[in-house]
């Protein structure tokens, strides 16, 4: 397994910079949502049962 250190470092620095900037202007929730969207590829939907 070969790790692409340069690409990993660049992605980490961009992520860190985005976190700092968004936190400083109060939009950290936006960063958290984008992380959620990137990491969640499988979504399970629970069926809704109506009791009549």
Please write the tens of the pLDDT for every residue from 1-43: 677 889 989 999 998 898 888 788 877 776 677 677 766 555 5
Evaluate whether residue 45 is within a structural domain: no
Query: What is the DSSP track for 1-52?
Result: ----HHHHHHHHHHHHHHHHHHHHTT-HHHHHHHHHHHH------PPP----
Does residue 19 lie in a domain region? yes
- Residue 18 falls inside a structural domain: yes
User: How many structural domains comprise the chain?
Assistant: 1
* pTM over cut 0.95: no
Residue 26, domain member (yes or no): yes
Residue 33's domain comprises 5-38
Report yes or no on 28 lying in a domain: yes
CA distance 13 to 9: 6
Within-domain flag for 47:
no
């Amino acid at each position: 397994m070969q790790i692409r250190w340069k690409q990993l470092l660049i992605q980490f620095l961009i992520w860190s910079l985005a976190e700092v900037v968004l936190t400083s202007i109060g939009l950290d929730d936006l960063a958290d949502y984008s992380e959620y969207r990137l990491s969640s590829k499988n979504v399970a939907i629970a069926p809704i049962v109506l009791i009549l």
